[in-house]
Structure 1
Amino acid sequence: MKKLFTLTLLLFFIGLSAEAQIFTIGPKLGISNTTLSLKENAEIYQSGDAQYSYHGGVFARVKITGFYIQPELYFNSVNGEYTDATDPNDIKTLEFNQNKIDLPILLGWKMGPFRINAGPVATFNLNDEVDASSTNSAVSEYKNAVFAYQAGIGLDISKLIVDLRYEGNLSNQAILGNDEGGVRVNQIMLSVGLKLL
């Protein structure tokens, strides 16, 4: 029974793929340029230099009358940098590191090989606990889940897809110090994917 169900499901997806490429799925990976937003506590903490991060996972795309919906699921390792001026005589450069799962659901429009898309992103934190003994970070708490948004452009070249997007957070991903404000992550993301179907 399981084999029959699996075979039926496989034939269904192959049929969708063959029908004018209504459905496609594949792996995707990329790099990100990450900056931190620390506006709530600008007198103590300041954003540092942009840092590079990486992400990888899977995407699917379903065409619907001139538009498409593209859900994705990927692991995102975020690295950031900020300064701590709690003691003005001893300003420290600290690190922000977070591993998370991102689930964007994008609505897009395609014209020839070019695409534009935008949509919400659910972000799920994978960092278990804060290392209280760390002297390289002032993070006192990570949020379990937050919402963000993405908007960008894309290009399809045969089976290859290329995306360039901006991602911004709608709420804080972490708390600094003794509830002295939060951290929002902003990313410019460049990724490459491969259509398997």
Structure 2
Amino acid sequence: MKKLVLFLAVLFSVNVAMAQFDFCLGPKIGYQTQSLSYKKADIQKGFKNNFIGGVFARVTISNFIIQPEFLFYKSGKVFNFDVDPTFSQSGIAVNPSITLNQTNMSLPIFLGYQIDGKLIKVRGNIGPVIYFTLKQDTEFNENDIPESVNANNVKVKNTTLGAAFNVGVDLWRLTLDINYSLGLSNVIGDDFNLYNIATGDPINVPIDKTRQNMFTVTLGFKFL
């Protein structure tokens, strides 16, 4: 009798869990930027240069959400540095910059909660993000650097970490998400070297922060 009661209790729990379990999968596309602008020209240019697309999956259990995503996008950023001129015999101040263009893939894993309405569902999520660099083009701009000085060892990381905050709305099979991701690790290594061609003496240039924070808006469609 006890075994029968236990079996029925387990069966009931499984049925309840299955009734509250939901899975969906689909593509999503959108716009990503590192700086917000309300100008029409900036937005039109941004849609061309800051397009983002990929796929998402979502598991909902009793209104709790697990949502991993695979997103692909291109990014461009100019990092400027101030270097003490004392390393140069001429004493000329140097202000080099690094232009970094990348093709990236991001893997956010969101955890959150969903509120079900009659027509729409509202979601709030938070989670870690892993960024992978698939292709990169690094250009070192030697602004005001004497001819006797050159640069090397600009180290760009292939993998960086971040944290993302997301709010979203579902209407029928459509999903709208607004996301802000905060960079937790530097894109460029902690330093790079300038060196004097004549003497070969290296000059270490410290880099404070090359973290990238991004604002993203995406529209998705749930196939399942």
For normalisation by structure 1, the TM-score amounts to: 0.70
From the superposition, tell whether residues 62 and 148 of structure 1 become closer, same or farther in structure 2 (CA, over 3 Å). Answer: same
One-letter code of the match for 2:114?
K
Deviates more, 1:154-163 or 1:177-186: 177-186
Matched, 1:110 2:114: yes
2:26 is aligned to 26
Does the 8 Å CA contact 1:153/1:163 hold for their aligned counterparts?
Answer: yes
One-letter code of the match for 2:163?
Y
Percent sequence identity over aligned pairs: 31
Cα distance in 1 between the residues matched to 2:154 and 2:183: 19
SS in 1 for 2:210: strand
How many residues in Structure 1 have an aligned counterpart in Structure 2?
165
RMSD: 3.3
2:135 is aligned to 127
One-letter code of the match for 1:164?
I
Deviates more, 1:179-188 or 1:75-84: 75-84
1:188 is aligned to 215
Cα distance in 2 between the residues matched to 1:80 and 1:129: 11
Does the 8 Å CA contact 1:54/1:78 hold for their aligned counterparts?
Answer: no
Cα distance in 1 between the residues matched to 2:111 and 2:215: 18
Shift of 1:33: 1.8
One-letter code of the match for 1:34?
Q
Matched, 1:98 2:112: no
1:127-154 per-position Cα deviation (integer Å, ceiling 9, x unaligned): 35645xx538999121121211101210
For normalisation by structure 2, the TM-score amounts to: 0.62
From the superposition, tell whether residues 64 and 159 of structure 1 become closer, same or farther in structure 2 (CA, over 3 Å). Answer: same
Cα distance in 2 between the residues matched to 1:33 and 1:136: 27
Does the 8 Å CA contact 2:102/2:136 hold for their aligned counterparts?
Answer: no
Cα distance in 1 between the residues matched to 2:72 and 2:176: 18
Cα distance in 1 between the residues matched to 2:76 and 2:142: 13
Does the 8 Å CA contact 1:125/1:142 hold for their aligned counterparts?
Answer: no
SS in 2 for 1:185: coil
Stretches of structure 1 lacking an aligned partner (at least 5 in a row): 1-18, 36-50
More strand by proportion, 1 or 2? 1
One-letter code of the match for 1:116?
G
Does the 8 Å CA contact 1:28/1:56 hold for their aligned counterparts?
Answer: yes
SS in 1 for 2:28: strand
Shift of 1:67: 0.5
Q: How does 1:32-111 map to 2 (within 5 A)?
A: 32-35=32-35, 52=46, 53-86=50-83, 95-111=99-115
Does the 8 Å CA contact 2:101/2:136 hold for their aligned counterparts?
Answer: no
One-letter code of the match for 1:111?
I
